[in-house]
Chain A
């Protein structure tokens, strides 16, 4: 307590040092005068009184020194003084300060932004108690080709939960959750879009160890209650306690809000931030178990397998099945799987950017210190200690570093938002939001310190380690000593090298994006729209969907300009449908198990403009279900989805399964062959694809419309036509061009970011080269003038003046090229997934990067070169 009291007092005194010192002097003066008064009253003469008073008071300078040491902390005093001094100096050269702070901010910001994403998506654990103990339990059907990707039993009923929970040796507790698909949510009658809701078991939060920040958790006696996320609570209710007890309507049912979950808890799925949890659940739930400590997922799989397959239909229990206990402590994320490579590649890239910015700042600080050597020498001659001189130099660096760090955090925030905006996500999940938390701030500060070490310390030591009197006496006060120039050259060379690396990396990604966007997909993209229809949101029951789809397509066909409209079960351009169920087709001995399937409605091929190669397209009769659903519900379902009717296949299918034979001759199932088109994914090669004529869609997927004429007018007309059926029906509408652009969002993001930073790196390198070239010319003006006077040609002078810069550039370029050569080889397997149409070791890309660097370097040298040729012999010699 006392120590704290003293600490506060000392710190306060340090920052108000001027005032405190003045008051101290005032006190001493008052003391002195009172003493003199008393002495005169005791009979001293005026002069004697003053002398005696001075003696009694003691020597003032040591006293002041003691006071300074007592009132504050001497070391801190030095720091504060250095910083104040540095601030004044920087204020005198705002241009330098701004350029340096901005470059640093960019470097730190880029790294912090990427770190925030990497941390959120790849490194962080869920905000629950002991996340490592959590596993999701599912049963998979084993196939000959290995494990199926779709779980055979993803969720379980009450009985299985009870029996798993009873396995005390293995599990501590079990929680259940189920996503509600596209729930319609309203609060006080106001519809809430883009909010995800899970149904959970009553023990969900307590077993996970998530605390409520307000209210309480649902318990077993509750009927229809809800908990909401802290994010929603803050944004929608302003964090007010009044939220408790309010009613939230989900799919027409009312739930009372009883609690708010701790910040940043959004369920297990990182991509789909859940904002509300409702309980109790009625149907089957996904199962997450908290294992007893020391129990491995493998042991849990073995121990729980028998209990879990209870859920599987008795007829299927003979099939080979496996239980999977998947650790979910760091959350489940499709984005993570998809973006891991991209994020790590970008992280590597922005690390290079940081190094380049540090080298740039280092070079600028170095040049500045060189220009200030006379001043430093003067200070040293007047008795400033070396530590004080280093303090001044480091003080500036520290201030710039702090400014860069703060700017970097701001830029990181903007950067994360910009990156997330490039991704095709309707509502950015919390996992992709920038949170300036301890980890992110720590990272930024660490990066900043690393940067300061790289660019600040060497110049500070160099600038002060000099023979000052020598300089003061010399008339060449402005020529930097060799060692100082060496460090500057090193910084510039490093910049060039890093720039080459950045260019090579960015070139790969930019070229990939170009290759992808120029790709011919095989159907018309610009005049064809894809509409996403949300029938549940509009209040339709799934059994109304066939009728609804007929009405809708009829209305769309009436819109002026519309040539054709059709529907599919899955959206196009959403990646492979990945069907691997074995299907037997006449004419093929093996069941086919590696194919894509697209369940389409009438007019699909006409709408998409796909070319028929052989046979026929689907006709109206193909979409009439011939199976009576009353007789066999299962057969009717298969027929409704198109699995039992006629098929049309693509070229790749024929190549793969009917090499050299005629698929149409094999039997009545396959009725036609169409040309390959990239309907499912721009990037992936076309796989064998079967089109299934689906008479009655089980739920609404997507609708495609092809039109001619003014795109905007048609879009409006289409929107009107859909709203006329039901105003809440349309959830998204885009051209297939836009959809395919979205499907290469990852490549676009990587190309944009890396392109941006490679240009930045190039600009920084240009500044660096310009800096050393012009300072070389400046330093040698006199020599050049003499040579000129002696008759040397202009080009000889240019060559002489810029030789040093060229050597530095040459070294940087070679080092960069070598590093890039090694880097692409090292990372080619890892980066390969991110590339399209070229490989990491692409020679043209490599040469382009080097060419670009050379062009920029030559451009940066132009002005100094011209200056060298214009040296006036007389002026330069008279310079001193």
Chain B
């Protein structure tokens, strides 16, 4: 079963976390992980713990900020929100990703001939 799933590319997790946060507003790590899993339709291998490493990294860059709060089922959890510079970063990263996907797609298409 596992070999049909995708490993996460370096850096793509950060991108997905940022995108998720723009969609969800303020959310805790578990919520982010659940949302990514839902959207991936179980195509991803995600050690949910690695989300937190990504969150530390993003917060160090100042793209997200965090605050302790209470979750929907009354648990103390840390909530993350995307910052203005995070939104800008997401746009840059998204454009980069799309260009990269296009380039990879073209190369692969050319290779098929």
Contact = CB atoms under 8 A, between A and B. Distances in A.
Contacts of A10: 60
A58 B53 contact: no
Contacts of A9: 59-60
Contact of A6 (B49, B53, B60): B60
A26 B46 CA distance: 20
Contact of A31 (B33, B57, B59): B33
Contacts of A33: 75
Contacts of A99: none
B50 A63 contact: yes
A27 B52 contact: yes
Given A5-B61, A6-B60, A70-B57, A30 B50 contact: no
A30 B30 CA distance: 8
A283 B111 CA distance: 95
A630 interface: no
Contacts of B75: 30, 33-34
B60 A28 contact: no
Given A5-B62, A10-B60, A58-B50, 8 more contacts: A9-B59, A30-B75, A31-B30, A34-B30, A56-B46, A63-B52, A66-B53, A70-B56
A237 interface: no
B30 A58 contact: no
Nearest to B76: A30
Contacts of A66: 50, 53
Interface of A: 2, 5-6, 9-10, 23-24, 26-28, 30-31, 33-35, 37-38, 56-58, 60, 63, 66-67, 70-71
Contacts of B76: 26, 30
A37 B49 CA distance: 17
Nearest to A37: B73
Interface string B55-78: 011011110000000010101111
A5 B49 contact: no
B5 interface: no
Interface of B: 28-30, 33-34, 46-50, 52-53, 56-57, 59-62, 71, 73, 75-78
Contacts of B33: 31
A24 B52 contact: yes
Contacts of B73: 34, 37
Contacts of A23: 78
A248 to B, nearest CB: 54
B75 to A, nearest CB: 5
A31 B31 CA distance: 9
30 contacts: A2-B61, A5-B60, A6-B60, A6-B61, A23-B78, A27-B78, A30-B28, A30-B30, A30-B71, A30-B75, A30-B77, A30-B78, A31-B30, A31-B77, A34-B28, A34-B30, A34-B71, A34-B73, A35-B30, A38-B34, A56-B46, A56-B47, A56-B48, A57-B48, A58-B48, A58-B49, A63-B47, A70-B56, A70-B57, A70-B60
A682 B59 CA distance: 76
A31 B61 contact: no
A5 B50 CA distance: 22
A34 B31 CA distance: 9
Given A23-B78, A30-B76, A67-B56, A57 B28 contact: no
A27 B48 contact: no
Contacts of A35: 30, 48
Given A34-B30, A37-B73, A67 B52 contact: yes
Given A31-B33, A34-B30, A35-B30, A60 B60 contact: no
Contacts of B53: 63, 66-67, 70
Contact of B47 (A27, A38, A57): A57
A27 B57 CA distance: 16
A232 to B, nearest CB: 48
A387 B61 CA distance: 32
Most buried by A among B34, B50, B52, B73: B52
Contacts of A57: 47-49
A46 to B, nearest CB: 17
Contacts of B57: 70
B83 to A, nearest CB: 11
B30 A2 contact: no
Nearest to B31: A34
A843 to B, nearest CB: 71
A31 B60 contact: no
A361 to B, nearest CB: 40
Nearest 3 pairs of A and B residues by beta carbon: A58-B47, A6-B60, A58-B49
Contacts of B29: 27, 31
A123 to B, nearest CB: 45
B80 to A, nearest CB: 11
B27 to A, nearest CB: 12
A407 to B, nearest CB: 37
B79 to A, nearest CB: 11
B93 to A, nearest CB: 13
Contacts of B61: 2, 5-6
Contacts of A56: 46-48
Most buried by A among B52, B60, B62, B73: B60
Given A57-B47, A58-B50, A27 B62 contact: no
Nearest to B77: A30
Most buried by A among B46, B73, B77: B77
B67 to A, nearest CB: 12
A27 B29 CA distance: 8
Contact of A28 (B34, B49, B56, B71): B49
B98 to A, nearest CB: 22
A414 B48 CA distance: 61
Most buried by B among A9, A24, A31, A71: A31
Nearest to B62: A5
Contacts of B28: 30-31, 34
Contacts of A71: 56
A826 B47 CA distance: 74
A595 B103 CA distance: 99
A482 B111 CA distance: 71
A71 B29 CA distance: 17
A31 B75 CA distance: 9
Nearest to A38: B34
Contacts of B50: 58, 63, 66
A108 to B, nearest CB: 38
Contacts of B46: 56
A450 to B, nearest CB: 37
A28 B51 CA distance: 10
Contacts of A30: 28, 30, 71, 75-78
Nearest to A10: B60
Contacts of B59: 9
A23 B61 CA distance: 19
Contacts of B47: 56-58, 63
Contacts of A26: 76
